[in-house]
Each structure stands twice: as structure tokens, then as C-alpha cells.
Structure 1
Amino acid sequence: MKPNPLLLSLLATGLCGLPLAAQAQSAQDFEALRNELKALRAELDQIKARQPAPSSAPAASASAWSERIDAVELRQKDAVVLGDIPGSFRLPDSETSIRIYGQAEANLVKDFKGTAPGDIFSNVMEQPLGASRSGKMALTAQTSRLGLETSTPTSNGTFNTKVEADFYAYCDADSTCLRNRLRLRHAYGEYAGWLVGQTWSTFVDADNSPETVDFNGPPGFPGGRMMQVRYTYNVPAVAKFQFALEGLNDGIKFPNFVARVDKAFDWGSTNIRLLSHEQHIDGVSKRGLGLGLGAGVKIGSTSTLMAQYSLVDGDADANYLTGANYPVLDGKTLRMDRSQGFLLGLGNVFSDKLRGMASLGVVRSRQRLGDAYVNTYGAQGNRQLLQWHVGMYYLPIKNVELGSELLGGRRTTFDGSKGDLLRLNLQARYLFN
């Protein structure tokens, strides 16, 4: 089989790419090594001070102490390198450790009602309207993925990199949806609080997004991976603060700006996110605002309840609100759909071999028939999207997961038309490293 040039390029990028910051060994381990070094050096200084004249014996003694110091320094260096990424290995003649990971995944999807175009997985935004005919069945392994992480120690912390891809690339220009080709998901570097590259938008609340077997998941939450420059300032006793410039696309005058605050508690976590973003169509630009709230609450020792709320002025490609209607151009005026999203999720771990999850996502437009936006967009724009998921994962052996999920939903347009979704998703995947 002929090697895939893009895959080889991604592997090379991960091996030689921009480093990122991460934690290595614990502070207590390093402190113990530092104290041991200080004690050894102090004893060596005392030996030298007690010998007024040079002789072979003191030289041999000093040499022995120097060897002990070198050994401790080597232990300290190894602790930094080998502790960077669990499951990693060190590259030959290098202080860089690397971890290769991924999953081989197969999904069987059976629609009991009409199948939305453009995607194998759930796409309630385009669910067929009216009486739905029986849907199709599909089998795919396109969501299998491959990734690698690297970590390199420095005197001021570690540089890390991450490169990850799957095989779920978008359609061709002629809308032939073959997919089955490599797609970049993450490619970034981070050091000393700075992140540069492509990863989840800072507006995305990944920690409070419920797990689903379905690859796309419910609408109602931000879900974009964006090119960005992000700075994180963490004050453990107060909160974690993040600021990012994202998505400088062609024609946009200034990048999108996201500010975020996360706070952890014994009972869970909360966050608030603010967004200023720009949309651009055919030379016309307009800025919109966004607000996001998220929380996760522990229920006992096995369950977590998650909730998110988003309010966004216009969006494109579901970067900041999955399910929102696109901006439209009305003459020389760019009009945005103000939408709000709600997401609830519950996850429970029944045992080390079984976990279950349920979720509900809703997106509602704040526009109405007769509004300038609806007149331009069309009466079959989405007034409301609703989608629910109920599923579980079973782990028969290590690194193998079998998932099953029933999901359904309804699309309601501005003119009152409806389209219903009901499907079964079965999944088998093998995770390595």
C-alpha cells in the first residue's frame, strides 16, 4: 500500500513540532531530589574544607562524592523526562518523550425515520420535513483516529505538542460526500500558559459536554475547533482565567475574542464565557456577541449532572452554537440569527465495565415570521431543534468498548413545519495507549 503523504507529514509534525507545557513528576518528588543534591554538595564542601593540602585520598573522596551527585542529577533529569506523558517513550538521544494513541472504531447506524442529507451521523438541522419515510442503514469506520503527543523538559517547565486526525474529512466541492480521508482535528503547541494552534475553541465547554455514542451529539452547545492564540492564568485559590484570539478567516478584520473563567469546587465546577466574533459574507462584515454558562455537579460517587447555556448572535459552521441558523446577506446588510442553546446531560458509572449516559439538547431562534432575518433566510429556517440521547458503553476486555444508543429529535421551522428523527447507533472500538 502506498504511504499517505499527509499521514507521514502529521507524524513528522508530531515528532518535530512546536512544544507545549505540561506537568511532569510531582513537586514533592522534585523537592526531595533537590534537597538530596544540596546535602551532598554541602558534605563535599566540608570534605574539601578539612583537607588543607592536596593528596590522592581527598581527590578520590571528592571524586566519589561527585559521582554520587552526578547520579542524583541524572535521576532528577530522568524523572522529568519519563514522567511527562503516561504511556510514553523517550526518543533515542533525546530528552523528548512521545505518546502515540488512537482508536479503531466502527459505527452501525439505522434510521427508523427519514435520513438527513450530508452526514452519516445525527443532523437534525436538516431533518426531512413532513411525513418521514423509513430511513437508511449505514456502516462506517471513518471516525477512527490517530494522534500523538510530545513533551520536552526545560528549566522552566515542559514544552508539549499534540497532533490528532481522523478520517472524517468534509465533502468535495461538488458535494460528493465520500469522506474517508484524513482530517486534522488538533495541532497545537503550549508553553508557560500560552497555546498556539488548532484545538477546541475557548468558548467550548468540553468538561460539561455529555458523552454520546453518536459522533455529532445533540445540538445546543459550542463545538468548533479553531485556530487560536490562548493565554491561561491559573490562580488555584481563586479561579482559572483564559483569554483567546480565534478564527482569523479570510475577509475578517479582527479575530474573534473569547474570555473565560473556570472555578472548581468539591461538588463540581462552573464556568462563564464571553464572546465577540465577526461574520463575513461577500465583503460585508458584522460583529456579534455571545455568552456561555456551564456547570457540572457530582451526584454521589458515580454520577455527574452537566448543564450548559449559550446565547449567540449569529454563527457559521457550528463553531459557537451547534444548530444555529447561518448569517445571511440582505442587500448590503448582514443579518444574524440570535439563538440560545440548552444542554443537559447525566452520566453514571455502574461498574468498571459498564457506564450509561443520557442527554437532551435544544436550540431556539429568537426570530419570528415577519422579522427581517426570517424574510431573508426563508420560512424553512429552523425555529427550534430538539434532540435526546440514551445509551451505554460495555467494556468486555481492556481497551475494547461496545456502545449502543437510541436517539431521537424534532426539527421545527419558522413556518411550523416539523421533521422527526429516530435512530439506533451501535459502536465497537479499540483504544490503544
Structure 2
Amino acid sequence: MINRKLKTCVTLGSCCLLGAFNHAHADDAVIELGGYVKLDALLSNYADGDPGAGTIGRDFYIPGTVPVGGESESARTDFHMKETRLFIKGSRDIDGGDTITSYVEFDLLTGSDGDERISNSYKPRVRHAFVKYNNWLAGQTWTTFQNVSALAENLDFVGPAEGTVFGRQAMVRYTSGNWQFAAENPETTVTTAGGRVATDDGVMPDLVARYNFSTGRADLVVAAIARQLRYEDTAANIDSNETSVGISFSGKVGVGDANDIRFMLTSGTGLGRYLGLNTANGAYLNGDNELEAIDSTAGFVSYRHFWNEKWRSNITLSGFSADQPVGYAGTETSQSFHLNLLYSPVAPITTGVEFMTATREVNSGAEGTLNRLQFSAKYAF
């Protein structure tokens, strides 16, 4: 038997946001279709250089893309729908009362395909693709080292990007009560004299242990990671390994009737791509062709306040610091401040405006500043 809900059309200004939510039942299987449509309009001013046309940092905030040491440029305006996403979820009850769940999700961000000249056509990219059975998960989803529920509510895709653990990748994860243990895909990013190298030389998977717990009105997470950083290039006489370890503490704490505080603090050696959207690399290659891990610490705090049932605001502070090697290019510090006002006339629709200012300093002493005003309209279906 197949049940379908009627298609709905919501008009925001001159935009018609069209969605359909379908449930298909085949014996004991259920398929769900959902996602959201989102329009983003960004007015960005770069005080210290030109990011260049098509730079991914013009679609959402990426700390490492903020230009430094250049001349002030005039503002840039960008409209896009790339954060729009679609998911397909399937579940099936099997003998013994167990359930198998699958989940696949796509959006249009980060791809180099498409342009703004005529059709603005962009290829979908896979965000999630996994299967869950009892306590096991296999496939690609959020890294176990990240606490998604602690993320700030920002119009920007990530928000306080330099202050958060953020990543999706293939893994095998086991959950037992409050504990989670995972073996995840390894990848090492290395700073060399010629720039960043993604080595793809890992042998050992990245290992994560996580404990989720609640106390009072607080939902908290402690996560630890251990990984092998590896770079092998026989032609360049490079064959080196380094150890990486890190810990993250994060959570969401209720305040008053509906408000909350969200936070994350992460520190470690060789965290690299796990922290701040790879603001710093995991290690650098020294003069003896050996890897040395880069220490980094980052965090954010965000307060969400409901003015009434339809209006709310979020204020967020975020920061990042890395102990970059002398003589190599790299970001040493990054900070950002975010303030927004959001309006939901009905539950599926969110519109709003957000102001962000961010600064970045590299180890040469050069600095850069980004100021951005963002308007968004989202319809979840």
C-alpha cells in the first residue's frame, strides 16, 4: 500500500518553495522522503584581499579562506540555493523485533560543477549514506568525535566554524548505552614548503570513543580520538608516522522556559581536518622529512533566546588557535562573532537575518577580516 500526501507550495516573496513528503509502505518496509529548500543571500566585505570568483568561502564561512595581508575590496553579493537538501530514509522490521534502518542524504554545496552565468546548475553531493542494525552503524555520517546537537543555530551553513569539530566520513560504529566506539576513515593533511598535502597514506583507522550523558537540563558529550598521521612518498624519500590524540567536551544546557546555551571545547595534537574545517593541518614536514604534529585548541559558546513563539535570536562567539611551525604558512588564530534574528511564521518555515564578523591571522603576522550580512529563507518538508 502506498500513501502520498499532497504537494505543498509556500511562497516567500517571488520564490515558490515546492516540497512533497511521501511515505511508501511495502509489507513491513517504510520509505520516507524529506529535506528542505533554502535560499541564502550574502553581502560580504573582505578588508584584506580578494577571495576570487567561485571561492567556496563565498557560499559559507570557512576560516581558512578569509584573505589576509591584501588590499580592501568592495562588497560582494551572492545568492544561492546550494544548501538545499534531500534525504531518503528506509526502515524495515525483521523477525525478532529488530529494525534495519538506512539513510541517504544529498545537497549541492562544495562542488566545482556549475556556474552563475545562465542556469546555476550544480551536481548533488553525498552527505550521508549508512545502514543501522541493532547497535551497529556502517556507512558515512557525522564523525563520532562531533556532537551535532551542540551546533549553534546560525543561518550560515556551519556558523562558528573555527570553534567546532565538523566532519562526515565512512565508518563502523558500535553503540552500547551511553557509549559509542568507532573506527573511521583515516586521512592526513600535512603542511609542506609547497603548501597543503592530503597524503591518503593511512593504514590504521581513526579510533573514537564517546560518552553521552545528561544531568539536570544539560545534555553533554565527552569524546576522545586517537589517530595515526602518515606520509609516504618514496620518490621524495619520505616515510614518516606521527601520533595524534584529542579530546572534546560539548553540550546543550537549557535556560529558562525555552532558551539554551550550546558550547564546545576541543584540544589536541594533530587534530588537523577534524577541527575548524581543517583550519590547521594535522602535521608539518620538517627539514629531515619527518612529520611533527601541530597542536590546536578551539571552542565556541552560543546562547539562543526565544522572544516569543515565532521570534528567536542566537549570539555566538568562536575561537581557534594553533601552534604553527616557524617558517611555514598557516593560520595561527581565528575568531568570529555571529548575531541573528530568526522568524518562523509556521513551524516548517524559517526566515531571518544574520551578521557575522571574523578575523584570521597567519604565522607571518598578516591578518584578514570578513564582515558578512546574510538573509535566508528555508522551508523544511
Give the TM-score normalised by structure 2: 0.80
Deviation digits for residues 145-202 of structure 1 (CA, Å, limit 9, x no counterpart): 1101111112232111110000114337xxxxx9821110000111111111100000
Alignment partner of 1:143 out of 75, 83, 102: 83
SS in 2 for 1:207: helix
Q: From the superposition, tell whether residues 273 and 164 of structure 1 become closer, same or farther in structure 2 (CA, over 3 Å).
A: same
Taking the aligned partners of 1:179 and 1:247, their CA distance within structure 2 comes to 31
In the alignment, is residue 340 of structure 1 matched against residue 297 of structure 2? yes
Equivalent residue of 1:156, what SS? coil
Q: 2:358 matched to 1:409? A: yes
CA distance in 2, matches of 1:397, 1:308: 30
2:174 is the alignment partner of 1:231: yes
- 219, 223, 226: which is aligned to 1:269? 219
Q: Does 1:112 align with 2:53?
A: no
Q: 1:309 aligns with which of 253, 260, 265?
A: 265
Deviation per CA, 1:205-263: give whole Å up to 9, x if none: 111111110113221111000111111111xxxxx111000014542111000001111
Q: Which residue of 2 aligns with 1:199?
A: 141
TM alignment of 1:131-280, pairs within 5 A = 131-154=71-94, 155-171=96-112, 180-218=122-160, 219-234=162-177, 240-248=178-186, 250-280=200-230
Task: Report which of the two has the higher share of helix.
Answer: 1
Contact preservation (8 Å) 2:246, 2:271? no
Unaligned runs of 5+ in 2: 1-20, 114-119, 188-199, 234-239
1:363–1:385: 8 Å Cα contact kept in structure 2? yes
| Local SS of the residue matching 1:129 | coil
Q: Structure 2: which amino acid aligns with 1:308?
A: M
SS in 2 for 1:112: strand
Question: What is the deviation of 1:410?
Answer: 0.7
Amino acid at match of 1:426: F
The Cα offsets for residues 55-114 of structure 1, whole Å up to 9 and x where unpaired, read as xxxxxxxxxxxxxxxxxxxxxxxxxxxxxxxx763423x211111001111111101334
Which structure: larger Rg? 1
- Determine which of 85, 91, 100 is the counterpart of 2:25: 91
Distance (Å, rounded) in 2 between the aligned partners of 1:205 and 1:347: 17
Q: Write the distance in 2 (CA, Å) between the matches of 1:231 and 1:108.
A: 40
TM-score, structure 1 length as denominator?
0.71
Moved more, 125-134 or 423-432: 125-134
Q: Could you say which residue in structure 2 is the equivalent of 1:293? A: 249
Paired AA for residue 242 in structure 2: K
1:222 and 1:179 mapped to 2: Cα distance? Answer: 30
**RMSD, aligned CA:** 2.1
Pairwise CA distance, 1:342: 1.3
Identity rate, percent: 24
**Moved beyond 6 Å, runs of 4+:** none
8 A Cα contact 1:246 1:256, kept in partner: yes
Unpaired stretches in structure 1, ≥5 consecutive residues: 1-86, 173-177, 235-239, 368-372
SS in 2 for 1:91: strand
What CA distance in whole angstroms lies between the structure 2 residues aligned with 1:408 and 1:254? 39
Structure 2 distance, partners of 1:191, 1:320, is: 29
More strand by share: 2
Q: Separation in 1 of the partners of 2:213 and 2:274?
A: 24
The answer to whether the Cα contact below 8 Å between 2:342 and 2:352 also exists between their aligned partners in 1 is yes
For the 8 Å contact 2:41–2:78, the answer to whether it is kept is: yes
Distance 1:225 1:251, change over 3 A: same
Query: Residue 361 of structure 1 contacts residue 387 of structure 1 at CA under 8 Å; is this kept in 2?
Result: yes
Deviation string for 1:111-152 (max 9, x for gaps)? 133454531222232212245322311111111111011111
Pairing 1:49-68 to 2, within 5 Å after superposition: none
The match for 2:5 is none
Note the alpha carbon deviations across 1:306-356, whole angstroms, 9 max, x for none.
12111132244x334435311332342123221000111111233332221
Q: Deviations over 1:401-427 (max 9, x none)?
A: 212100001111223221111010111
